[in-house]
Amino acid sequence: MAEEFADDEVFMQQGWADVLGVPMALKANDGFFRAGGYSIRAMHLGARLRKVQRILSVADIFKASMLSDMVTKTASLLHTDKKPVERSSEDWRH
């Protein structure tokens, strides 16, 4: 399990580094917003994670802004039966 967490942490570090434009020398206790993140970058991170079936909403990113918290949150969602809610284009018109 620790190896799986380490892989998830490296994956999340890479996502942060790409979205934030920072080196991958991020630590588990680094905060997304302190590292240069803001709402638009949070949306980019969420979209990047969705592409690989790791669902993390922008609200989740605001609530769990530390790297380790995001890793824990995405790992816990991977091991549940919950499916992400898919929105149609009509949902955005209301």
Residues 2 and 89: their CA atoms lie apart, in Å, by 40
Tell me 78's DSSP state: H
| 3-state SS class at 80 | coil
Structure confidence by residue, pLDDT tens digits, 27-82: 999 999 999 999 999 999 999 999 888 889 999 999 999 999 999 998 887 665 55
Any domain includes 9:
yes
Q: Is position 39 within any domain?
A: yes
> Does 87 score more than 60 pLDDT?
no
CATH of the domain at 36: 1.10.1200.10
Domain count, the chain: 1
In a domain, 90, yes or no: no
Query: Is residue 85, in this structure, part of any structural domain at all?
Result: no
Which residue range(s) make up the domain with 72? 2-20+27-78
Residue 40: half-sphere exposure toward Cβ, Cα within 13 Å = 0
Residue 87 located in a structural domain? no
Q: Is residue 4 scored above 50 in pLDDT?
A: no
